[in-house]
Amino acid sequence: MKKLGFGMFRLPLHDLKDQGKVDMSLVKRMVDAFLSRGYSYFDTAYMYHDGQSENIFRKLVAERYSREIFQLADKMPVIDMKGKSPDDQDKIFHDQLSKCGVDYFDNYLLHCLNAESYKTAKSLKTFEYLSQQKEKGKILRLGFSFHDKADILDCVLTEHPEVDFVQLQLNYYDWEDERVQSRKCYETAVRHGKPVIVMEPVKGGKLARLPGSIAEPLFKRHPDWSIASWAIRFAASLDNVSIVLSGMSNLEQVLDNTAFMENPESLDSGDLLLLEKAAEVFSSLPAIECTACRYCVRGCPKSIPIPDYFTIYNRDKISRRNGGGVQREEYQKLSEGRGKASDCIHCGQCEETCPQHLEVMKWIAKVKKVYEQNE
């Protein structure tokens, strides 16, 4: 199987304020281009696109292509299931099969395991439940996506040697980052003999949009490589990586990714050195490390579009703009009909949910200062 997977979580939208309003005709062209080039792996989840991603997969893939053509990964939303019952788990799993229009999943994952959600999975006996589904043939391979430190990963893999693979946030920027621990987690998975599926190879799009001064040396070295391709090549070139997921948002990205992943050249030591330097410079910029996964948004009691605010904050900080004039107007527009940063009631839900372990409330307060108070 080719190493590139189609992540169905950053699909193009008709309305940027509504994650459920996906541009179906564009996604249809993207899916068709992906499959026609011999790629086959799709990744969805219960919570993506306000619960619509699985339905979109059914309409555009399962109902239009035969089952042998594609491979599908879906996930149990354990991160959202604190206080739920094993019956809820069973209902969700069967809902997912029907929403996706399939009889079985090729890969199935516990979604977003960390120290906290692992406790939920233990109390619901999620591993045991999913192993039963595997025995019944409803799951071919069982795994989990993971967002915590390497020692927690070691503990989960030691207690659950039955899993077939792990999905890790792995990119050159987070490789040595102490919060994400990409390298340490990767090495832990390898030590346990588990194949790795890579998520966030371009860190929510950040590594595809490097500021000019950081991107320039990369362009000079390989003028025909897109900036995003550097990040995907880095992940794909690691031993033990079976799939690299890309959350593609337009046709150009599908065409670029599928072209270079057809026969990806490995990175040499000079390339790796450049990436190390790029990561070093990029990490010194005053940006919030949000990957725009939107996990925090669903539970925000004030409907604050947290990652949308962080996106403009990062862009303006990196280009040294102060949030006045046009930027303030943009913020006003973004906040119409939704919560403003100043509406935050400090309930802490976002920080409990954030897989990047960000101090979301601190950053929301900064957004408020920049765009509402102009400080």
- Indicate the Cα dihedral angle 10, 16, 18, 21, nearest 10°: -70
- Spatial distance between the Cα atoms of 364 and 346, rounded to a whole number of angstroms: 10
**Beta carbons within 10 angstroms of residue 91's beta carbon:** 12
Contacts of 316 (CB under 8 A, 6+ apart): 322, 323, 327, 370
- Pick the closer one to ligand SF4 by CB: 163 or 245: 245
Shortest Å, Cβ 111 to ligand SF4? 13
Q: Least distance to ligand SF4 from the beta carbon of 152, Å?
A: 18
Q: How far is the CB of 341 from ligand SF4 (least distance, A)?
A: 8
**What minimum distance in Å lies between the beta carbon of 263 and ligand SF4?**
33
Which residue's entry shows tokens 């989840």?
Answer: 45
d(CA 217, CA 270): 11
Closest by alpha carbon to 292, among 49, 21, 35?
Answer: 49
Q: Give the distance between the most distant pair of CA atoms in the chain.
A: 60
- Dihedral angle of Cα 234, 236, 240, 243, to the nearest 10 degrees: 140
Distance from C-alpha of 177 to C-alpha of 320, rounded to nearest angstrom: 25
Token pair 């619509």 in the structure block, residue: 52
Whose Cβ is closer to ligand SF4: residue 20's or residue 195's?
Answer: 20
Residue number with CB closer to ligand SF4 (112 or 130): 112
- Specify the residue, 109 or 360, whose C-beta has the smaller distance to ligand SF4: 360
Q: Which CB sits closer to ligand SF4, 72 or 297?
A: 297
Which residues have C-beta within 8 Å of that of residue 141, sequence separation ≥ 6?
A: 106, 107, 108, 134, 164, 165
Binding residues vs ligand SF4 (CB under 6 A): 290-296, 300-302, 304, 306-307, 344-350, 353-354, 356, 358, 360-361, 364
Spell out where the chain has E strands: 4-7, 41-43, 71-76, 105-113, 139-146, 165-169, 196-199, 241-246
Q: How far is the CB of 360 from ligand SF4 (least distance, A)?
A: 5
For the bound state, the minimum distance from the C-beta of residue 367 to ligand SF4, rounded and expressed in Å, comes to 10
Closer CB to ligand SF4, residue 69 or residue 347? 347
| Residue with smaller CB distance to ligand SF4, 23 or 351 | 351
Smallest distance, ligand SF4 to C-beta of residue 298, A: 10
Closest C-alpha to 30, from 20, 42, 19? 42
Which CB atom, from 62 or from 292, has the smaller least distance to ligand SF4? 292
Smallest distance from ligand SF4 to CB 361, Å: 5
| Helix count and strand count (H, E) for the chain | 15, 8
CB of 246 to ligand SF4, least distance (A): 18
Contact 267, 243 (CB under 8 A): no
* Residue whose CB is less far from ligand SF4, 67 or 338: 338
Residue 289: what residue type?
A: E
Q: Of 262, 257, 282, 144, which Cα lies nearest the Cα of 203?
A: 282
